[in-house]
Structure 1
Amino acid sequence: MDYFRERNLIIETCLWLQEKELVIGTWGNVSLRLNNNLILVTPSRVEYEEMVPEDLVIVDMAGKKISGFRAPTSEMHIHRLIYAARSDIQAIIHCHPCYASAMCASGHSIPPILEEMTQLIGGEIPITQKYIRAGEHLALAEETVHALGQQNAVLIANHAPVCCGRSLSEAKICCLVTEKAAKCYLSISGHHQVFRIPDDMARTEHHRYLFEYGHEEGSKS
């Protein structure tokens, strides 16, 4: 079987999402970019604890199934369009955590209020501008990739967040940072003044995280 390591990484990620209570049931999906044309994605409606490597599906960038006996996730178009638009992204997680989902229902983006947001996500976590029914898969994907822009996380209105990274490990951290940001913002908005990190500083922090973090002389973390 091809891409055995990558298949197991995705299954491990699915189980991690369950453990961290970032998904409920079979909602949510995970993918890895295999090369410039192929994507490995989770199947549709398969319980995570029952998923085996053979269940995962390979699709191409046009959305055509290349291998696998199951149907790919119904939100496969979100994954492929993000990969097509962003060559830097290698892994995508669509999760359904509580606080980030609440922000999806609010109609508001999450401003850059935490240092982790600026470094990992690029600053603000944007939100799509309208609700699109779950069955309109391509329209939902197009709206999502448009809202994502150059950030590494996006909120889908009345739905849930999509988190991205240069690896599955980084995408997982992005899920945690997105949920933390949503929880913090919901905790303070309406009760206290929200101090927003300036956009130019957010861009600087994101660049430092991508190209300098961990390589700086005297770095402790």
Structure 2
Amino acid sequence: MILVEYQKERKQVAAIMRRIYRQGLTTCSGGNISLRVDDDRFLITPSALDKGTINYRQIALMTLSGENLSPGLKPSMEADMHRTILRHREDIDAVVHAHPKHASFFTAIQSSKIRTDLLAEARFVLGEPVFSPYALMGTPELGKNLKSALAGGEYVALLENHGVLTIGKTLLEAFDRIEVVEVAAEMTFMSEYSVKLSPLNNRRLNEIDAMNT
């Protein structure tokens, strides 16, 4: 197995991971990304490496059955979570997990009530974020909980006391959702201190929702 197989895709994964870190959406050791590259294989970021300096040679290749095809590389401890999502959501190819601070706060209050009715972009890009119950990091239960949480076709999940996960047809789509959910979470905080809000009414929300059907 040649390490640089899927070099273009590996570079994309590494670039998005660096971007997430540099934008303050995760910590040096936190977060992980996966990208489906064919029917049975996907790329995934490693464990215990600096997310701010990660490069394409550090991106591992795995099978959906769990085999590591990159000798010398240690895939993320959350690889099982990524495998589970990719196996059960055939409509998407990219998974992004990060720890944006405002959105992650909502994971600690057992709520997915990040408002998506304040900006049309948030509604269009995110839909309604869902809540995934707590499971220990790196365990099969984490993936099982997310599988259930995302079973209705959702694209954004808040992992209780953990962080945020987004999925998409492309890496850019999943990354966009991480950015937008953090903005929406911050605006939700800000809305608590606003004297008067003017959220999107039901007609406008339904119009936006219809754009995704």
Provide the TM-score with structure 1 as the length reference.
0.84
Provide Cα deviations, 1:136-190, integer angstroms capped at 9, x if missing partner. Answer: x210111112112311110000110001111111111111111011111122248
What CA distance in whole angstroms lies between the structure 2 residues aligned with 1:158 and 1:206?
A: 29
Compared CA separation, residues 180 and 64, structure 1 to 2 (3 A): same
The Cα of 1:207 is off from its aligned counterpart by 4.9
Partner residue of 1:125 out of 124, 129, 140: 129
Q: Which amino acid aligns with 1:119?
A: F
- CA drift of 1:209 comes to 4.5
CA contact (8 A) 2:93 2:168 kept: yes
Consecutive unaligned residues in structure 2, runs of 5 or more: none
Matched, 1:177 2:177: no
Q: 117, 142, 146: which is aligned to 2:148? A: 146
Q: CA shift at 1:48, angstroms? A: 2.3
C-alpha separation in 1, matches of 2:201 and 2:178: 20
Q: CA RMSD in A?
A: 2.3
- Paired amino acid for 2:141: A
The yes-or-no answer on 1:186 pairing with 2:189 is yes
Does the aligned pair in 2 maintain the 1:112–1:202 contact within 8 Å?
no
- Equivalence map 1:1-221=2 (5 Å): 1-109=4-112, 110-113=114-117, 114-121=119-126, 123-128=127-132, 130-135=133-138, 137-149=139-151, 150-189=153-192, 195=199, 198=202, 205-209=208-212
Q: Which runs of 5+ in 1 are unaligned?
A: 211-221
Name the CA distance, whole Å, in 2 between partners of 1:197 and 1:173: 24
Looking at structure 2, the residues matched to 148 and 71 of structure 1 have their Cα atoms a distance apart, in angstroms, of 27
Q: CA deviation at 1:97?
A: 0.7
- Aligned counterpart, 1:215: none
Shift of 1:33: 0.6
Q: For the residues of structure 2 that align with 1:148 and 1:93, how far apart are their CA atoms?
A: 14
Indicate the SS of the match to 1:58.
strand
Cα deviations by residue, 1:38-70 (Å, 9 ceiling, x for unpaired)? 010001111124433222111111222122422
| Residue 192 (structure 1) shift | 6.4
Change (3 A) 1:126 1:196: farther
Contact preservation (8 Å) 1:56, 1:68:
no
Specify whether residues 133 and 191 from structure 1 end up closer, same or farther in structure 2 by C-alpha distance, changes over 3 A only.
farther
* Matched-pair contact (CA < 8 Å) for 1:118–1:203: no
Residue 112 of structure 1 and its aligned partner are, at CA, apart by: 3.2
Give aligned pairs, total.
206
Q: By how many angstroms is 1:105 displaced?
A: 0.8
